[in-house]
Structure 1
Amino acid sequence: MGYFRLARRNAWRKPLRTVLLMLCVAIAFLIHGLTASFEQGNMAAGSASDDVLGVASAAGRGQSLPMAHLSRLAAEPGIAAVSWMTRLRGYAVRESNIVAISAVDPATMVQVSGTELGLTPVLMAALATGRDRVLVGRTLAEVQGWRVGQRITVTVPATPNKEGSRDWRFEIAGIFEGASPASDTHFVIARYDYVNALRTRGTDRVEAFVLRPAPGIKAADLARQIDALFANSAAPTRTQSEKQFLQAFMRQYADVGLIIDLVVGAAFVTLLMIVINTQMLAVRERRFEIGVLKTLGFSQGRLLALVLGETLFIFLTGGLAGLALAKLATVMIGPGLGLVLPVQTLGVALVLILGLGLATGLIPAIRAMRIPVTAAFRTR
């Protein structure tokens, strides 16, 4: 009988206990998979760029910047392309149905972020057919049930238009997919000229400039260069990469990354305690059998490998089941909730499965290895 078969037979000596252990492991890795999916999708950890820079007001996100900054940015060496944007934050139909609109200059935005957003020439041509045309991200379109050609109304409480209404009306010209499944497509792209012409305040001002460094220029160096350029102006700036910008935005509400780490850490610590305690109990129950194996010539190393193999079998079965459930969740409900589980996250989870399996099995295995034969036979 081989090691793996013997370890598997030992694991299934008490099927109920083994199933419960596997269930604990599966739940822990389901939590890990879902939280990692949330971090990848909603915090844009996998899709946000370190090269695309956002130039916002140093006074905070609530303050805008004058369009006069554009000419100085365009003349600054080291910048390959620069665009601008402002945001409308509103809701569709009901207040809980939040919709984010980014009003941009289409021609320059394609140069800066067209690749990351998947803005094809066909989509940009459709956006140019009318000033009230918009592009909707695939995720948002699926959540809202929107389609190309549909007229939509977004109520923006903080930004009334010149018609005296807070309802902004658009027509969907196309749906953009993003460059990868991790790309953020939960927003609307509108035309800045349309929004700027209709809003009653903040005219000719932007929320941020978006730019791409020239080849060979480090983004961090360029960010410091831009902030120094406007340091003594009436509207100083704070320049960050897209990834830093999104992480700072999430931290306005809470340190989501820390919360995720604490939740996953608590799940794994609890799992370690449960599995170690259960495996210690299993070793105590098999003291006589361990004594027999030693009498038959099993070395301490072979006993160590036997117990570790049993624990690894439990972790692999339960862990892979939990990851499969997490992947299924991202496929079924992921588009609506922004859950993305990339291959690299699954690879990290597999390393965790092997590492935790070895860590939890090590103490019971060492205990089994050190049981004296005479003490083991006294248990019968």
Structure 2
Amino acid sequence: MTTTSTRSAARGAARPVRLAPLDILGLGMLGVRTRKMRAALSALGISIGIATLIVVTGIPASSQKALMRELSALGTNMLQAVPAHQDPPVLLPPESVDMTRRIGPVTAASAVANTHAEVLRNDRQGEADYTGLTVLASRTDLLRTINAEVGSGRFLGANTERFPTAVLGSVAASRLGVPRITPGQSTPQIYIDQQWFTVIGVLEKTPLSPDIDRSVLVGWDAARTLLKFDGHPTVIYLKAKESRIEAVRDVLPRTINPELPGVVQVSRPSDALAAKRATESTFSALFLGLAGVALLVGGIGVANTMVISVLERRREIGLRRALGANRGQIRAQFLTESVVLSALGGLAGTVLGTLATIAYATHQHWPPVIPLTSVTAGFGGAILIGMLAGVYPSIRAARLTPTEALATA
């Protein structure tokens, strides 16, 4: 009985102790802590690869976003609808703007209408002093729809559109001698169809709608009561989702005039939309290739460091084997060390690449863009490279017997 108990105790003593994950992590960090300079240089290779990956994807993404903003400012999501030139003339229904807004992808719609009124600087001018300007009845939401801005003063609103007030386009303001509205000074007036209108605002140039620059805008309701406007719009402006702009263009004539869709002419999408889509579809494979090469070089550096680490730490390996560590624990130790090195390099590279991208984009006045896929793929790639780089050194370390490790140390 005593002999059986002794044998059982001996087998229990020879059985290796199971290591918890934190213990394995601590053993893996041992080589990093004791060889800080070598670990830093090994991690540097991985960090350069990750930083390169983020920079070469983040900078083009930032540049692309800035370009997308510029192209969007050119009206890639805008359309115009006008009545066809026919004799007798064709009129758009008064409710056509509200009907246009009901189209699903449409985000904004507004309109102007030619009142056929004449505008002069004052009541002392005659017909010979014709300014060549157009008096348009305008909806209050026109500026938001055509991406226009007020240079000075204010635009027509709910409290002014019913009264004899006017807003001048940039060219109209120059011709009428009202370059800007200055607070605190007397409000200028102009003469429209033998009636005085107070100028409350002057617009900046509107490159998307140059006709507005040569126009005098009055309120929709004021045009009805003061200028005998019949309520039929002559130009309908709309914004829609870029991805559905062609679909909106197809249904717009039938929406504006269901009975006679053929008398509605709709502008084609801006050429800038095609340029924007072409830009979105381009991607630099060369930059990604460079980042991949940088990661590969970093992985080779980690593998080389781990092989040298195994050669230099044979005595440690022999002692651990002699004290009962099995091959699996030795493999786990060196594989963990390789992954830790790569993870530290990946973390440093992510921070470095992100800061470099933000700094360069800010310098170029671009919106900084850090692709999440690049960050996750880069850091995940660093972990994978660490695992692959640590496979051979960990297997080599595990194959060393205690006698061999201590004899060659």
The runs of 5 or more residues in structure 2 that have no matched partner are: 1-25, 85-89, 113-137, 157-165, 173-178, 181-200, 217-232
Identity %: 10
Deviation at 1:307, TM superposition (A): 0.9
Paired position in structure 2 for 1:154: none
CA 283–118 in structure 1, closer or farther in 2 if over 3 Å, else same = farther
Partner-residue secondary structure (3-state), 1:260: coil
Aligned length: 278
1:131 to 166, 169, 180: 169
Match for 2:294: what amino acid? L
Matched residues in 2 for 1:70 and 1:303: separation? 82
Partner-residue secondary structure (3-state), 1:43: helix
Question: What per-residue deviation string (whole Å, max 9, x for no partner) do you get for residues 239-284 of structure 1?
Answer: 69xxxx8552235xxx434443424422332223222222222232
1:231-242 equivalent positions in 2, closer than 5 A: none
Contact 1:294 1:373 in 2 (8 A): no
1:318 matched to 2:343? The reply is no
Matched residues in 2 for 1:263 and 1:196: separation? 51
Paired position in structure 2 for 1:192: 211
Match for 1:260: what amino acid? F
Paired position in structure 2 for 1:340: 367
Partner-residue secondary structure (3-state), 1:13: helix
Contact 2:79 2:269 in 1 (8 A): yes
CA 279–43 in structure 1, closer or farther in 2 if over 3 Å, else same = same
CA 359–247 in structure 1, closer or farther in 2 if over 3 Å, else same = farther
Matched residues in 2 for 1:223 and 1:192: separation? 21
2:92 to 71, 74, 96: 71
Match for 1:301: what amino acid? A
Matched residues in 1 for 2:251 and 2:337: separation? 61
CA 234–123 in structure 1, closer or farther in 2 if over 3 Å, else same = closer
Which structure has the larger Rg? Answer: 2
TM-score (norm 2): 0.50
Matched residues in 2 for 1:7 and 1:119: separation? 63
Paired position in structure 1 for 2:306: 283
Deviation at 1:352, TM superposition (A): 3.1
Matched residues in 2 for 1:19 and 1:13: separation? 10
Question: What per-residue deviation string (whole Å, max 9, x for no partner) do you get for residues 290-345 of structure 1?
Answer: 656655234433432221110111121122112102112222332xxxx2115xx3
Matched residues in 1 for 2:354 and 2:167: separation? 45
Question: What per-residue deviation string (whole Å, max 9, x for no partner) do you get for residues 17-75 of structure 1?
Answer: 65455344433322222111112221249x969xx95337xxxxxxxx74559937636
Contact 1:54 1:239 in 2 (8 A): yes
CA 289–349 in structure 1, closer or farther in 2 if over 3 Å, else same = same
Contact 2:339 2:390 in 1 (8 A): yes
CA 113–276 in structure 1, closer or farther in 2 if over 3 Å, else same = farther
1:43 to 62, 68, 76: 68
CA 264–124 in structure 1, closer or farther in 2 if over 3 Å, else same = farther
1:329 matched to 2:352? The reply is no
The runs of 5 or more residues in structure 1 that have no matched partner are: 57-64, 86-104, 135-147, 150-170, 176-186, 198-203
Aligned alpha-carbon RMSD (Å): 5.2
Match for 1:54: what amino acid? M
Paired position in structure 2 for 1:55: 79
1:1-380 equivalent positions in 2, closer than 5 A: 3-4=28-29, 6-7=31-32, 10=35, 12-13=37-38, 18-19=43-44, 21-44=46-69, 53-55=77-79, 66=82, 68=84, 71=92, 74=97, 76=99, 78-79=102-103, 81-83=108-110, 107-112=140-145, 124=155, 130-132=168-170, 192-195=211-214, 209-212=237-240, 222=248, 224-226=250-252, 248-251=274-277, 255-289=278-312, 295=318, 296=320, 297=325, 298-334=329-365, 339-342=366-369, 345=370, 347-371=372-396, 372-374=398-400, 377=405
TM-score (norm 1): 0.53
Matched residues in 1 for 2:368 and 2:252: separation? 36
Contact 1:323 1:346 in 2 (8 A): no
CA 261–7 in structure 1, closer or farther in 2 if over 3 Å, else same = farther
Q: Which moved more, 1:276-285 or 1:2-11?
A: 2-11
